[in-house]
Structure 1
Amino acid sequence: MAMRWEAFLDQVKERGRYETAEEAERAARTVLALLGAHLVGAVRTELAARLPDEMALLLLNPLQAHEPLSPERFVRATAAWIEGATERTAAWDVSAVLSVASDAAGEELTRRILLQLPSGYDLLFGYPQPV
């Protein structure tokens, strides 16, 4: 069952300690659009099915990635897309969004997502050790 839009944004807002829902939404839209470029096949569609429709569309129509980005480059790319962001604030944004997406996905799907990504993303998804 897909998570509701408000519930998703509320969780991102809380984890990212954003002052406004707009800040949480901007982070969520950027991070999920970048993530969608890294996922393929059933993993991407299954994750999209568990996210609110507005977020699912970003995953299914992603920004184009020419190569899989390392976690560090993913954070840098996020910083480039969010006005006024630094790598430090972007790392915070990525972690807030991906940890909520991971909760929505559940452990088994998150494990399959991480298998499609370069090593090191487990930390960004809120898993302090490899799953």
Structure 2
Amino acid sequence: MKYDEFLNKVRELGEYADRDEAEHVAHSVLGTLAPRLPADGVEHLAAQLPEPLTEPLHRGELENAESFGVEEFLDRVAAATGARPMTAEWDASATLTAVAENVSGGELNQLLSQLPSEFATLFGHPELSG
């Protein structure tokens, strides 16, 4: 998938006013997700996303993954986007659902296995959350 197509999907899912808003949200969410993933998880995800999305992933990447749950993730997304917590959940879901639709099934399974089960809902797969 091309970068513009990805942003259009995020814009559609998040019902954002324009491309710039969708781009800001997508970059913020991915940059916030990166520290939660092990370095090889970031590399595998970045390999399956359009090139401009690799920058926020690598910017947020750490040598060792941090351990935080969905609530902390959403608080960090809210801080990154300047949004309220409910809006942060909407933003995260729009971006991560677009990610789930644009990576291979194997990559999605690997990605979800590296996160607490509650993250599955944000990726558009509530049936996988525990």
TM-score (norm 2): 0.89
More helix by share: 2
- Residue-by-residue CA offset, 1:12-65 (whole Å, 9 max, x unaligned): 000000011111011101100011111224332121111111101211221669
TM-score (norm 1): 0.89
* Unaligned runs of at least 5 residues, structure 2: none
- Residue-by-residue CA offset, 1:60-112 (whole Å, 9 max, x unaligned): 221669732211111111111112x1111110000000010111112221111
Q: Distance in 2 between matches of 1:80 and 1:58?
A: 15
Q: Distance in 2 between matches of 1:24 and 1:35?
A: 16
RMSD of aligned alpha carbons: 1.8
* Equivalent residue in structure 1 for 2:14, among 16, 19, 25: 16
* Unaligned runs of at least 5 residues, structure 1: none
Q: 1:82 corresponds to which letter in structure 2?
A: T
Q: 2:66 corresponds to which letter in structure 1?
A: E
Percent identity over the alignment is 34
* Equivalent residue in structure 2 for 1:40, among 30, 38, 51: 38
Q: Distance in 2 between matches of 1:47 and 1:81?
A: 20
Q: Counterpart of 1:104? A: 102
Query: How many correspondences in the alignment?
Result: 128
